[in-house]
Structure 1
Amino acid sequence: MESNIVDDNEKYCTKCGAVINKEAVICPKCGVRQPASSTPGSRNKVAAGVLGILLGGLGAHKFYLGQVGVGILYLCFSWTMIPAIIGLVEGIIYLTMCDEDFDMKYN
């Protein structure tokens, strides 16, 4: 008889319900890709995209993504409007990027 208790290192597969490792990306039993679990402090791509579009000239999206040095650089050159243009483009890129790519790069 199996126990229905899952310890801290395990989770249930979203498709078949099998008990799998918490870090598993694909269920070894049914082969279905598991959704990425968001952790506290993880960054949201929509928030980064909106910050890039609206406040990209001040580097707000870079500060949000933890790239403080680049954010300060954007802030220093904000009077040239070049960071605003780059921030607009980066905001659109963040919003169109798939969730897995964003998570791998920024989370």
Structure 2
Amino acid sequence: MSENSLKSSDEKYCSECAAIINAKAEICPKCGVRQMHPSVTVNLGALAPNGKSRIAAALLAFFLGGFGVHKFYLGQVGLGILYLIFFWTVIPSIIAFIEFVLLLIMSDEEFNRRHGQF
């Protein structure tokens, strides 16, 4: 299989080196990098490079957002502490509900851009 050929239906591109490999290949024969299974990202939503999930962040914002748990999850410790200080005013709960909705409608690409850094 040459690299200049087009990919067929039973082939895919390596996630690391972009070589054309068998669609069922677990490891790229060219660079040796293990390939991710698409079923993991389809069922649970895509994970950011740092392992954070948009759906998990949205659920934390809905159920525990008044305490800022979703902010701690996303690495925004300062805002999480601010939510904890003012949770008794119910304002953080209202903001967390708005953030819950925004996280649900946000694309995975946008989530990765905002929260995907290490």
State how 1:16-31 maps to structure 2 within 5 Å.
none
**Is structure 2 residue 80 aligned with structure 1 residue 71?**
yes
Could you list the per-position Cα deviations for residues 15-45 of structure 1 after superposition, in whole angstroms to 9, with x for gaps in the alignment? xxxx8xxxxxxxxxxxxxxxx8854x42100
**Off by >6 Å, runs of 4+ in structure 1:** none
Offset at residue 11 of structure 1 (A): 3.3
Runs of 5+ in structure 2 lacking a partner?
A: 4-13, 22-29, 31-45
Q: How does 1:16-95 map to 2 (within 5 A)?
A: 38-39=48-49, 41-95=50-104
Runs (5+) with no aligned partner, structure 1: 20-35
Cα 1:80–1:95 change in 2 (3 A) is same
**Cα distance change, pair 78–13 in 1 and its aligned pair in 2 (3 A):** farther
Change over 3 Å in CA distance of 1:37–1:92 after alignment to 2:
closer
In 1, Cα distance between equivalents of 2:83 and 2:74: 14
Percent identity reads: 43
Residue 10 (structure 1) shift? 1.2
